[in-house]
Structure 1
Amino acid sequence: MTLLLDSFWRAAAYCLHPRVIALSLLPLLLMSALAFGAGWFFWEPALDAVQDRIGSWALLGSLVAALEGAGLTGLRAALAPLVVVLLATPVIVVCSLLAVAMLMTPAMVSLVAARRFPQLERRRGGSLLGALFGGAWATLAALLALLLSLPLWFVPPLVLVLPPLIWGWLTYRLMGYDVLAEHADAVERRALLREHGTTLLAMGVLCGYLGAAPSVVWASGVLFVAMAPLLVPVAVWIYTLVFAFSGLWFAHYALAALEARRRAAPAAPPSAAAASGPVLPLPRAAEPAPLALPPPPAAAAPPPAALPPGADAPPPAGASPWPGR
């Protein structure tokens, strides 16, 4: 819980960093261009299709007529734009999340690592291909879940539960891989996602609820249609900042958990000798026998000194000094 709260406040503070704000402009421009392009080409056909569908449902047509009779005039004209916006919201949310994951997350992870974890080793256990493949299947699964759960959105309690859960799961899948791809190897990444999976999923769901904030902008009814050039960029930028916050939150949490894991159990790569098995002592070569040197020559005895006349010569060595004994 301490790590979770510490990462939350750090991520909130990093959202005010000038580099993060500058990075959020690129997804904003991209998503605004896509939203305006889709509205230019598909807005009128989508409104006509929704109005025809509303007219073909007798029960819904009777309900709308009753509400208009009760004083809600113009409900039929406002209902079609609201339905179109409701259907377009999941697509915009998913595209904004993908744009942030691709364009902002690597730079934000580098920022967090440079400021907080400069000594953390980069083992590069992820790849761009793995990120693209994992993001593609997770996005398809989330869109399928949104499509299948769409009829349940009209049930008041479920509309507050199902979309944030789906968006939170997608956030967890995308951010969990991206923030660890550069610094953790494959074994460490799988271990961290397994050990902290519940916490990371809860973080993703909370970010999914934060992502519902722009729905207030979308639910402007007729005002949205009149002020679309202003409200669309505002809503997209809110989505961008929310998912940028989620990327920073995941980065602070995951890198701190990775550093703690390495500090607790440092992974020393096995040496070549250990990998090849036990080292046996080499047999020692026989030492050559020392050379036999000849004994040093005996010192020559000095010549006997000359005796004075009449003196007896000294007895030879070994002879008794007393003759006759």
Structure 2
Amino acid sequence: MNLFLDSFWRSVAYCLRPRVIALSFLPLVLMVALALGLGYYFWEGALDWVRGALESSSMVNNVWTWLQSAGAGSLKMVLAPLIVIFAVTPVIVVLSLLMVAILMTPALTLLVAERRFPQLERKRGGSMLMSLMWSLGSTGLALIAIVISVPLWLVPPLILVLPPLIWGWLTYRVMAFDALAEHASVEERREIFRRHRGWLLGIGVFCGYLGAAPSLIWASGALFAAAFVILVPLAIWIYTLVFALSSLWFAHYCLAALQALRTEKELAATTALAAALAPSQTTIDVQALPLPDDTTSDARPQS
């Protein structure tokens, strides 16, 4: 718990550094260009497809009739944009995570290592290719989990649990690996994952809930179309900052855990060496004791 809280407040403090804020704009520029490009070419087509699907459903038409009788028929105008927005949000989240992992995480981990752990040996247990393959594999598993769990999102309690849990698992897998790739060996990374899996997953889930907050901005963009162009970059930047915070949090936590693991191993090695030398030292001490004077003790008077 101490390591969990200590790494959290340190990551929050690091987010206020100008270098971190400047780095957060790199993924933002790429994601804004991608989001605006996709919106320009596919927004109207996606809306038309969703509206056609809704109008062809008899159940939805019955709901519209009930809403109009209740005086809430205007909700029909915003439902299609909301469906498209919430469908696109997981994709934006995953792409933002990958952008941060590729563009920001190595630089942020290096910043933490230079300022807090300058003496920590770099064993380079993970290369850039391994990190990319690990991230893509974890992202694929997360997307499969999202597709499988979408029907469960209709159950009110589960929609508050499943998406943050999936984001948390993905964040934990990607960020923890990248935080340890430069400094830890393969064995050390596996040992830290084994010992701290619960806390690392907790960091990921907490950041997953933080990542769900910008969805309110997406919803506001659907309701206030005039400000949508401004709210899209704002939401993406908030996503980027959330993942930058998680990247710093994992860097502080994982590097501190790695340092503690190496200190523990050095102490264990020193204790084992001292225990191995102790019997030989005792033998030397026994042999160094003066022997009794046999000539004196055995001397008897001659008759």
Amino acid at match of 2:208: G
Q: What RMSD in Å do the two structures reach over aligned CA positions? A: 1.5
Question: Matched residues in 2 for 1:81 and 1:30: separation?
Answer: 23
Amino acid at match of 1:225: A
Which residue in the other structure is 2:114 paired with? 114
Contact preservation (8 Å) 1:127, 1:181: yes
Contact preservation (8 Å) 1:179, 1:251: yes
Question: Matched residues in 1 for 2:51 and 2:116: separation?
Answer: 54
Question: Matched residues in 1 for 2:92 and 2:222: separation?
Answer: 20
State the 1:221 CA deviation: 5.9
> What is the aligned length?
269
State the 1:198 CA deviation: 1.1
**2:97 aligned with 1:74:** no
Which residue in the other structure is 2:148 paired with? 148
Unaligned runs of 5+ in 2: 270-303
Which residue in the other structure is 1:11 paired with? 11
State the 1:147 CA deviation: 1.3
Which residue in the other structure is 2:38 paired with? 38
Question: Matched residues in 2 for 1:53 and 1:174: separation?
Answer: 36
Contact preservation (8 Å) 1:28, 1:233: yes
**2:173 aligned with 1:173:** yes
Q: Deviations over 1:171-228 (max 9, x none)?
A: 0110111000000011111111111111101110111001011011112264343211
CA pair 264-11 structure 1, distance change in 2 beyond 3 A: same
Which residue in the other structure is 2:105 paired with? 105
State the 1:154 CA deviation: 2.2
State the 1:140 CA deviation: 0.8
State the 1:68 CA deviation: 2.2
Q: Deviations over 1:256-293 (max 9, x none)?
A: 01111111213999xxxxxxxxxxxxxxxxxxxxxxxx
Residues 160-309 of structure 1: pairs in structure 2 closer than 5 A: 160-220=160-220, 222-266=222-266
Question: Matched residues in 1 for 2:67 and 2:230: separation?
Answer: 30
CA pair 144-208 structure 1, distance change in 2 beyond 3 A: same
Which residue in the other structure is 2:136 paired with? 136
Which residue in the other structure is 1:59 paired with? 59
CA pair 268-30 structure 1, distance change in 2 beyond 3 A: farther
Question: Matched residues in 1 for 2:211 and 2:127: separation?
Answer: 28
SS of the residue 2:181 aligns to: coil
Question: Matched residues in 1 for 2:223 and 2:49: separation?
Answer: 21
Identity of paired residues, percent?
Answer: 61
Amino acid at match of 1:251: A
Which residue in the other structure is 1:314 paired with? none
State the 1:73 CA deviation: 3.1
Point out 4+ residue stretches in structure 1 off by more than 4 angstroms. none
Amino acid at match of 1:100: V
Contact preservation (8 Å) 1:131, 1:177: yes
SS of the residue 2:25 aligns to: helix
Amino acid at match of 2:247: G
Contact preservation (8 Å) 2:221, 2:227: no
Question: Matched residues in 1 for 2:267 and 2:127: separation?
Answer: 22
Which residue in the other structure is 2:83 paired with? 83
Question: Matched residues in 1 for 2:93 and 2:21: separation?
Answer: 19
Unaligned runs of 5+ in 1: 270-325
Structure 1 stretch displaced more, 59-68 or 196-205: 59-68
State the 1:151 CA deviation: 1.9
Contact preservation (8 Å) 1:96, 1:240: yes
**Largest Rg, 1 or 2:** 1
CA pair 21-41 structure 1, distance change in 2 beyond 3 A: same
